[in-house]
Structures are given as C-alpha cells and as structure tokens.
Amino acid sequence: MIRRIALASVLALSLGGMAAGPVLAQAVAAASSATPATHVALSAPDGRAIDVSAWSAKDEQAVIVFSHGWNSDPARYHRIIKYWTDHGFTVIAPMHTDSLQHPRHAEGDQRSFVMTRIVDHAVVRGYAQASHPGKPMIAAGHSFGSFNSLMAAGAVSVAGPLGDPAVKAVIAISTPGVVPGLVSPSTYATVAAPVLIVTGDADLVQGFVTDPRDHRAAFDASPAGDKMLMTFAGGDHGFIGKADPADFELMAATTVDFMRAHALGDAAAQARLDALTAPEGVTIERR
C-alpha cells in the first residue's frame, strides 16, 4: 500500500505545478533543555531510512503522530511535546527529508520533499498502530506538517485521497491552508474527523502567506461538526515555540482536552471544551 501511495504521489506532484518559491520555512526556536528522544529507523518503500523520534508517556492513553514544519525537525517542538507526554500522550515524530538536519536534505527538491513527507507519515502511522496496539491515534503537526496531518484525516490534495480512518482527531498548528499547486477548492471538504486549528492574527510566512486568514481555510472549508479554531492576537508562525506562559497553557490544555474528548471519548474533557470561553486577546470559534 505504501509503495502505491509513493508512486501515485510522484505522478500527481509531477503534474501538479507545485510553486517553485519557498514553502513555509518555519521558525520555531529550539528548546534549550529538550528531553532526549528514543530513536527508531523505519524503512521507506524507496529504501530510505526514516529517523523516527519517540517520547513515551508514563501513563499512555493515546499516540500522537507529529509532523514538523518545513525545514525544521522534531526536537524543536520539545515544549509542546513535553506537555503532551506529561498528560498521557506518547509522541512519535519522523524527521522529513526537507529538514535542514536531514543527512539527505541536499539530494531533494520541493516535489520530492512533499512526496517523502506523505510516505513518511503513512509508514509512521503504521508503526504507531503496530507498536501501540489498541491505543487511539491522533495526527498533529505544525505549518506544512499540519497539512500532512489533515491529509491523513481525509484532505484530498493533488496527490489524491490518502485518508486513514485510524486517525481519530487532528491538531493543526499554523496550518498552511492554501498551498498553490497542492490544494484545490475542495481539498478540505472531505475532512470529517475532529480538527482543532491554532493560529494567530500575525501568522505570516515571508514570500508565501501574506494574509493570516489563509490559516483558517481548513476550518472554514471542512464539514461542520467537531471543528474548533483558536486565534491568538499577535500570534505569529513561531507561536507554538515562543508563546507566553498564559497563552501556551491555554493552547496546550485545549489540545489535550480536544484529544481526550475526541480520541478517548472523555465526557469531562468535552464539557470543558464546551464551556471554554476566550480570554482577552484570543478568539475561539466552533463549527
């Protein structure tokens, strides 16, 4: 199945007219005291070794497959990963070939990076299910990584339908929303899974995203029901890594309640989501 996905993606992307300019280079500051991850090398259909970082929760309730932003790497997201593991969610994250830390980064281009991201995500989802049997799976990501998560939840790009029914919920932080050559007007119309999108009104990407409202595309265009959007005043593209303590706690706690409510069926978490009101400087929308 993974090989068919890879071949279909290569064909689709070669015909898709991907934009030649820079794509969502993300700017999350590296944590200075990251807890070391355990690593496993998974085999991709093309023979690549996919370096996967894993942070295990002591009281594991579910598993998050996390996809980093373009040019970034999993270790830069230690702040949110630690919060999730402290609250019972194991995090498994591949290093994609577009990462500047990837040993084969120089061998790729934008089309190959998009294709290998799709394959990486599928391989790691399979690994997550096999290594954590019976545990619900959540797809989460930042920037372009959130688009990978949305594709796993049913978004149909030019690469075709790649949804995985095992994905119970999506956490999409600074999702690109509009990707010329990859996203069509109907891309998000097939995302029926619960989705929480986090963005900011200053969430811009130089040379690519000039209107912060682009980040809400998946919220506006996906079917109503179990969709939630949080927008932070002043939040930029690196908000996930440098939000002030109050904003970070609100964002992180909401992601945990969202995952508990929709992946674990936790009624108390759902009640907290339903009762959540936006403090000054934050907008919360539901559909």
d(C-alpha 154, C-alpha 169), whole Å? 11
What pLDDT score was predicted for residue 16?
39
Tokens read off for 102: 């990837």
Cβ-proximal residues to 58 (8 Å cutoff; 6+ apart), any chain: 85
Categorize the per-residue pLDDT at 27 as very low, low, confident or very high, splitting at 50, 70 and 90: very low
What pLDDT score was predicted for residue 168?
98
Average pLDDT for 116-130: 96
Average pLDDT for 152-160: 89
Higher pLDDT, 5 or 57: 57
The 10s digit of each residue's pLDDT in 62-102 is 999 999 999 999 999 999 999 999 999 999 999 998 889 88
0.85 cut: is pTM over it?
A: yes
> Per-residue pLDDT for 233 more than 90?
yes
Average pLDDT for 201-215: 83
Taking the CA of residue 262 as centre, how many other CA atoms within 13 Å lie in the half-sphere pointing to its CB? 26
- Torsion, CA 129, CA 255, CA 175, CA 33, rounded to 10: -80
